[in-house]
Amino acid sequence: MRIFCLIILIVITILEIGPVPISGLLLIWVVLFRPLWFYELVTRIYER
């Protein structure tokens, strides 16, 4: 799971170079809609 998260963060960082701020839009979407996958990801990260 850590490898997957790292790969996603690298992709977002590479896309950030472009003119559209991807991470800001992604965070606004997560805050507004609170998707289940995000909650599960956070619980998996902090359960250890």
Contacts 24+ apart (CB under 8 A), 18-24: none
Residue-level pLDDT at 10:
87
Task: Give the Å distances, CA to CA, from 25 to 9, 17, 21, 32, 46.
Answer: 14, 14, 7, 11, 24
C-beta atoms surrounding 43 within 10 Å:
9
6-44 confidence digits (pLDDT tens): 888 888 888 888 787 888 888 888 889 989 988 998 898
Number of domains in the chain: 1
Range of the domain at 13: 2-46
pLDDT exceeds cutoff 90 at 2: no
